[in-house]
Chains A and B, each alone.
Chain A
Amino acid sequence: MQPEMNRGAEARYAAALSEGRFLIQRCNDCTAHVFYPRELCPNCHGTSLAWVEARGTGSVYSVTTVRRKPEAGGDYNVSLVELDEGVRMLSCVEGIPPSEVRIGLRVVARIADHGGKRVVFEPAERAK
């Protein structure tokens, strides 16, 4: 996949997401995966970052339930998910009650509409 050179990594990530694709970066110099998308690899500071399809699998690294009044939409999950590529992203786990999301839970990504596209996760078991 050729990176477009006429805009920054953040815009390219968003453009792919809006087309229904979850891309992360992989450094051509040190081979580390990178998220969130950057112009420089945070590990080796090289500028040759390739876009790759995220496998979309990972596990919950930490978890919280944000409490919200029922009339405002109720409680919701916020999770720090570690992708199997080794990078972490803040996201949420949907499809099970927030109280049931545990550290270590295996999850898979999907792209959801939420006033704009975003990557969310659901339990791997449920997704089978």
Chain B
Amino acid sequence: MNLRDLRGSVAIVGAGTAGIGEAPGYTDIELLALAAKAAVEDAGLAMRDIDGLATANLNAAMWPLNVVEYLKLRPKFVEGTNLGGSAFVAHMLPAMLALSAGVCDAVLVCYGSTQRTSGRREKLQARTLLDPFPFEAPYEPFNPPSSYALIAARHMHQYGTTRRQLAEVAVAARGWARLNPEAFARDPLTIDDVLAARMVSDPLTVRDCCLVTDGAAAFVMTRSDRAKHLAKEPVLLLGTATAAWHRQISGMDDLTVTPTLESGARAFSMAGLAPQDIDVVQLYDAFTINTIVFLEDLGFCAKGEGGRFVENGAIAPRGRLPVNTNGGGLSCVHPNMYGAFAVVEAVRQLRGECGERQVRGAVTALVHGNGGVAASSQSTSVLALAEAL
């Protein structure tokens, strides 16, 4: 069997979110359950129809079991690989394979976190204890910002990228967030605001860094033949791929080139599409530099041209290419890991459910997940409505 044979063989049939922003008094799994319920109902299914599970969480080593028990699932397929925030985009490949092989019929991909309201300092300390980085920790990088700051500094050095171009990314994300009632940060934001914001790890200010919020997101995947008979128009998975190259910043060969180069090429190849075929783009913007580097590595522009590509509102509402139309991790939601939220927004855009921020006539979407503290793992999926085939 060729991977190309699986193009469009499975679809996302339900999507939901819960607790975006602040959800004081809730736990990770409580928010996850609410998003899972919303996604399953959105598909026109019941929780008892779910026989596959894909999930990950930074705080629990056996997180899929927590979810199995909480939702009282009896899954025939369980996927718990944690590559960081890209996880939920990465889960699409094994979910597709399991569905296609008949291992299961409906996979719930789900995530929830109360990072903002539930003592993140203690959890970070515990993770550091369990997963030490003895060759980086003595220098106290403030990660993840410092590793992405090193990437940004190198990109500026090699290609002349400017802080103003980084700021364009934050301002574009805010422009979209202002059209999204679900987004957490909706105040006006200008390039000068970003440049004047508190510096965190040069050249990144606090406005170049993603939000820290609560939130949960979930989606349901089935085989496409079954998807046709469910509640909403299926969003077909045309291509998906993951690439993982390193863990720490010192493990990168070229700081300006991420595994996206590989995941994007493989996902596009499977989909039989190219960047110019994509109507709406969801990129994991943990930091402003991410959006620029990913646009390059995915082929929307040449390497080194990302800064110039985003200038003059090019990725903002009414720009040339709609990117991160929910407001992204920078302005909509970012609870530890963002990947699942990017997927939900792509699904909503293709279904035409996005109100003021709707990209008119969008039939193809790209979702790109980033994982690890140094652009370590990258997952790309190409989604489309049936009419795009």
Contact = CB atoms under 8 A, between A and B. Distances in A.
A78 B139 contact: yes
A66 B139 CA distance: 10
Contact of B157 (A14, A64, A103): A103
A115 to B, nearest CB: 8
B52 to A, nearest CB: 36
| B157, B198, B248, most chain A CB atoms within 10 A | B157
Contacts of A32: none
Interface in A13-42: 14, 35-36
Interface in B160-206: 198-204
Interface string B106-149: 00000000000000000000000000001110111110001001
B35 to A, nearest CB: 35
B210 interface: no
Given A62-B154, A67-B201, A90-B249, A36 B149 contact: no
Contacts of A118: 138-139
A67 B198 contact: yes
7 contacts: A63-B150, A63-B153, A63-B202, A64-B203, A65-B201, A89-B250, A114-B138
Contacts of A14: 134
A92 interface: yes
B147 to A, nearest CB: 9
A31 B268 CA distance: 38
Nearest to B138: A118
| A62, A66, A89, A116, most chain B CB atoms within 10 A | A62
Q: For the complex, would chain A's binding face be called helix, strand, loop or mixed by DSSP majority?
A: strand
Given A36-B135, A67-B199, A78 B141 contact: yes
A91 interface: yes
A116 B149 CA distance: 26
A10 B135 CA distance: 9
A88 B250 contact: yes
A5 to B, nearest CB: 21
Given A88-B250, A103-B157, A78 B138 contact: no
B146 A64 contact: yes
A89 B146 contact: no
B202 A65 contact: yes
A50 interface: no
A121 to B, nearest CB: 11
A51 to B, nearest CB: 16
Contact of B201 (A10, A36, A66, A92): A66
Interface string A70-86: 00000010101000000
Closest 7 CB pairs of A and B: A64-B149, A62-B150, A36-B135, A118-B138, A62-B154, A65-B202, A103-B157
Contact of B141 (A35, A66, A116): A66
Contacts of B385: none
Contacts of A116: 138
A74 to B, nearest CB: 13
Contacts of A76: 140
Given A36-B250, A67-B199, A90-B135, A62 B157 contact: yes
B136 A90 contact: yes
A116 B137 CA distance: 12
B295 interface: no
B201 A64 contact: yes
A36 B134 CA distance: 10
Given A61-B154, A62-B255, A64-B203, 4 more contacts: A76-B140, A78-B146, A90-B249, A116-B138
A88 B153 CA distance: 16
A14 B153 CA distance: 30
Contacts of A67: 198-202
B198 A64 contact: no
B73 to A, nearest CB: 40
Contacts of A63: 150, 153, 202
A103 B249 CA distance: 16
A67 B204 CA distance: 10
Nearest to B157: A103
B143 to A, nearest CB: 10
A125 B249 CA distance: 27
B261 to A, nearest CB: 19
Contacts of B249: 80, 90
A2 B151 CA distance: 37
Contacts of A65: 199, 201-202
